[in-house]
Amino acid sequence: MAKPILDIPLRHRTPSEAKASIVRLTAAALKISDPELTLAALKTGLMALSRSGALDGIEYPSVRCDRYSRRLVHADPDGRFMVVAMTWGVGHYTALHDHAGVWCVELVADGEMEIVDYQLLSEEPAGRCRFRRVSSAFTSAGSSGGLIPPFEHHVFGNRGLRQSHTLHIYGGRMDRCDVFEPVPGGSWQRTTRELKFDE
């Protein structure tokens, strides 16, 4: 387990204080040159911030009836990272998707989430891909995970019986990603999707 990379102030309850805690954590983690160690520091730091109550001030978007919702918490002015809060209704899942070559760390703030990882095996010129399902896991409040390209393909969703919230730190501006829809024959068709914020 990675050592803490900064002291964590307690009882940061307001949105601005919660955001400042995340920005400080991320700025410190980005000083580590090894991406795997950076992600390990972010996962450890986010879980510690969550346990301390320092993230209680995060404002999550309203739940939608048709899909999960996204709210921008912070975009680094130099484009080094962005922080996004998400709200998931019961049964809301992403499509199989990539992360546009950007690493990501996810914290389950509350509720229960499922993550299913895939490995891209091959792709034809028309964007028809073959994947292998690698693993699946159920995560609960306070847990954190991450991914580093090229291992960046997964499905993420709310597998619980009530609404859930997650917090995501991306290693750059992520305003699009590729999604993969199943097609006959066991393949998946790649398309690019623009990512927008709900509020």
Domain limits of the chain?
Answer: 60-194
Average pLDDT of span 29-57: 95
Q: Is the pLDDT of residue 77 over 60?
A: yes
Structure tokens at 142: 């306070």
The rounded distance, in Å, linking the Cα atoms of 107 and 55 is 11
186 CB burial (10 A radius; 0-12, 13-18, 19+): exposed
Query: According to DSSP H, which parts of 3-161 are helical?
Result: 15-29, 35-52
| Per-residue tokens: 165 | 């919230």
The percent of residues above 70 in pLDDT, for the chain, comes to 93
Mean pLDDT of the chain: 93
Q: At which residue do the structure tokens 């955001």 appear?
A: 19
For residue 12, pLDDT over 50 is answered with no
* Distances from the Cα of 73 to the Cα of 2, 23, 69, 82, 105, angstroms: 25, 10, 13, 8, 14
- Cis check for the bond before 35: say yes or no (omega within 30 of 0): no
Report in angstroms the alpha-carbon separations of 65 from 69, 89, 108, 127. 10, 7, 20, 31
Do residues 178 and 100 touch, judged by C-beta distance below 8 A?
A: yes
The predicted structure's pLDDT at residue 199: 72
Look at the chain and count its residues.
Answer: 199
**CATH tag, 60-194:** 2.60.120.10
Decide if pLDDT at 87 tops 90. Answer: yes
Per residue in 123-181, pLDDT (tens digit) is: 998 999 999 999 999 999 999 999 999 999 999 999 999 999 999 999 999 999 999 99
pLDDT of 62 reads 96
Query: 0.75 exceeded by the pTM?
Result: yes
Please give the Cα distance from 99 to 82 (Å, whole number). Answer: 13
Alpha helices, DSSP H, located in 12-131:
15-29, 35-52
In this prediction, residues 13-25 reach a mean pLDDT of 92
- Mean of the pLDDT values across residues 97-106? 97
